[in-house]
Amino acid sequence: MATIPQPTVGDWYRVPTGASFEVVAYDDDDGTIEIQYFDGTIEEWELEDWEAQWKDGALEASEAPEDWSGSVDFDPPQEDFGSDNSSSDRDLRASPLEDIERFR
């Protein structure tokens, strides 16, 4: 009998329909696994369901999708290389000593 892999956060798997998902949380005490499909849908499975699906051959290990950011809602960082902007972070900060009067 084939061994059933332990669900590991960050690992990707696939169901027979071809839908890929990532294990995003695993609680051994509660016996639950939280997964997130590539489209962003989140589900919680019982550990018994995980084991039953492996025994039935309904799950298989998979590589992360090439564009794994499909389920992540973020904007990529915008880098400013050699731009000609006249303002910078440095220009927006005031000097802490700018308004201090000097005593003579």
pLDDT in tens, 34-76: 999 988 899 999 999 999 999 998 999 998 888 756 555 545 5
Question: Residue 1 domain-assigned?
Answer: no
Question: Residue 23 domain-assigned?
Answer: yes
Higher pLDDT, 47 or 99: 47
Phi, psi of 49 (to 5 degrees): -65, -40
Question: Residue 32 domain-assigned?
Answer: yes
Strands, DSSP E only, in the chain?
12-14, 20-27, 32-37, 42-46, 60-62
Question: Residue 80 domain-assigned?
Answer: no
Q: Where residue 33 sits, what CATH number does that domain have?
A: 2.30.30
Question: Residue 99 domain-assigned?
Answer: no
Q: How many domains is the chain partitioned into structurally?
A: 1
Question: Residue 101 domain-assigned?
Answer: no
* pTM for the predicted model, two decimal places: 0.62
Q: Which domain holds residue 19?
A: 12-65
